[in-house]
């Protein structure tokens, strides 16, 4: 029986990632059964000081071969995949990392699959894998904060929803959590209530860059609960051609509920998912920073 070249490359990729994880990172590598669709292995963080396994895990999807390095960018490569796979990874109980193996150079590059790194192409999705994120011993500094215990997300979800059963109370609850998170991200900001009505949740005004006592640029924030609501509201406010950037925040109780969002076609409307457990803070902050830049420049 002939062995396909692609099978050999795939096995080489998994084996090399295992080698790097075990020897360079000093972590545990557990290859998954082929029946576990979309996840090739689990990585478990090992405490470097005590050499004890921590129980904090990452799911890994490994893609091997030169074909995955054809869609190059200035700073890395675009990994193109279908929305079903990405939805599976975003909905996994563990954070998922995609790793690309370059056979000739024997190098591995990685990217965390999150609402911030997933980009819709219309027909599918793509994820940018930076050249600067090569899997080496130094990768522990970036990968360790992503890893978590299987029980983390359910525990956070239970805590977040405890005693908040009525839909309107849940909306108010998430509004307060979002307001607190934004203030923590931008300590100099002033957060106000609705000025234009639902689904607009709040206005965020930053302190003036040169005169901290004065208020500077303003950003409007809308809180919605689904991608469909985000699309409808983006079309509504985008068509108005207003002069204030809008950040539409799609709430997800935890990262396991995250969605593949439709990117706004309007330059002054930004769409991001956000989870009160903090797992999507990077996407929220990056969108706020982009909106702030637009507000500061005057559009």
Give pLDDT, residue 212.
47
Q: Are residues 142 and 15 in the same domain?
A: yes
Give pLDDT, residue 258.
45
Give pLDDT, residue 263.
67
Mean of all residue pLDDT scores within the chain = 79
Among residues 131, 150, 169, the one where a domain terminates is 150
Give pTM, 2 decimals: 0.54
Higher pLDDT, 134 or 274: 134
Mean pLDDT, residues 109-115: 91
Strands of the sheet containing 125-130, edge to edge, are 76-81, 125-130, 118-120
Per the structure, the count of domains in the chain is 2
pLDDT at 35 over 50: no
Q: Are residues 163 and 288 in the same domain?
A: yes
Q: Are residues 79 and 30 in the same domain?
A: yes
Among residues 113, 132, 150, the one where a domain terminates is 150
pLDDT at 33 over 50: yes
Q: Are residues 290 and 217 in the same domain?
A: yes
Q: 271 lies in which domain range?
A: 157-297
Q: Are residues 161 and 140 in the same domain?
A: no
């Amino acid at each position: 029986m002939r062995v396909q070249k692609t099978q050999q490359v795939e096995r080489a990729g998994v084996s090399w990632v295992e080698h790097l994880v075990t020897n360079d990172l000093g972590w545990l590598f557990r290859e998954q059964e082929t029946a576990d669709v979309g996840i090739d292995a689990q990585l478990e963080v090992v405490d470097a000081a005590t050499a004890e396994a921590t129980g904090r895990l990452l799911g890994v999807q490994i893609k091997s071969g030169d074909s995955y390095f054809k869609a190059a960018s200035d700073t890395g490569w675009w990994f193109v995949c279908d929305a079903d796979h990405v939805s599976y990874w975003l909905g996994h109980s563990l954070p998922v990392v995609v790793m690309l193996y370059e056979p000739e150079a024997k190098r591995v590059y990685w990217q965390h699959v999150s609402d911030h790194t997933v980009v819709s192409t219309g027909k599918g999705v793509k994820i940018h894998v930076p050249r600067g994120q090569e899997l080496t011993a130094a990768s522990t500094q970036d990968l360790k904060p992503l890893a978590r215990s299987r029980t983390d997300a359910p525990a956070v979800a239970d805590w977040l929803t405890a005693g908040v059963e009525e839909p309107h109370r849940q909306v108010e609850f998430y509004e307060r959590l979002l307001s607190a998170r934004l203030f923590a991200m931008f300590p100099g900001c002033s957060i106000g209530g609705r000025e234009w009505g639902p689904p607009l949740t709040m206005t965020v005004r930053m302190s003036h860059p040169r005169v901290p006592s004065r208020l500077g640029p303003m950003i409007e924030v809308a809180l919605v609960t689904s991608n469909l609501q985000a699309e409808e509201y983006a079309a509504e406010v985008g068509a108005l051609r207003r002069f204030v950037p809008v950040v539409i925040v799609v709430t997800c109780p935890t990262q396991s509920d995250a969605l593949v969002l439709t990117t706004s076609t309007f330059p002054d409307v930004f769409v991001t998912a956000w989870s009160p457990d903090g797992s999507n803070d990077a996407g929220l902050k990056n969108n706020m920073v982009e909106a702030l830049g637009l507000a500061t420049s005057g559009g």
